[in-house]
Amino acid sequence: MGLKFDEICIDARDATALGTWWAEVLGWPHGVDDDGDVRLHPPPGAGPDWIFIAVPDEKVVKNRIHLDFRPDDQQVEVDRLIAMGAKHVDIGQGEQSWVVLADPEGNEFCVLAPDD
């Protein structure tokens, strides 16, 4: 018996707004299914679909899992994400080579330094 990593499910207070935000950030197509969930479709080989599911509660604590992204130019990407509505967050990381940001609903993610 084997497992296939099929999708990432993300709870969201406003699934449409957050799913659309991430679709724009990543440049991936997206759609809304019959349940009102927003599904992002990565390019072939770029990983599983992301599904944004509406939930009634707000995010209240630091994520127990987060996403890391490695851009070609870290500062350009951080500036772009901030302009799109991401915010810098301090989760106790101290001085590091990565930048911790949060999406519009407060979900933390990291923008890593480019590979050398």
Please state the domain extents for the chain: 1-58, 59-116
SS3 content of the chain, % helix, strand, coil (to 5): 20, 25, 55
Q: Which CATH number fits domain 59-116: 3.40.50.300, 1.10.10.10, 3.40.1000.10, 3.10.180.10?
A: 3.10.180.10
Please determine whether the domains at 1-58 and 59-116 fall in the same fold group of CATH.
yes
Pair 86, 58: CB distance under 8 Å:
no
Give the mean pLDDT of 77-91: 95
Give the mean pLDDT of 17-39: 95
81-83-89 Cα angle (round to 5): 60
CA atoms within 13 A on the CB side of 114: 9
Say if residue 78's pLDDT is above 90: yes
Residue with tokens 């001085």: 95
Say if residue 96's pLDDT is above 90: no
The pTM for the full model equals: 0.89
80-18-26 Cα angle (round to 5): 45
Whole-angstrom distance, CA of residue 15 vs CA of residue 112 = 26
Q: Which CATH architecture has domain 1-58?
A: Roll (3.10)
What pLDDT is recorded for position 14? 95
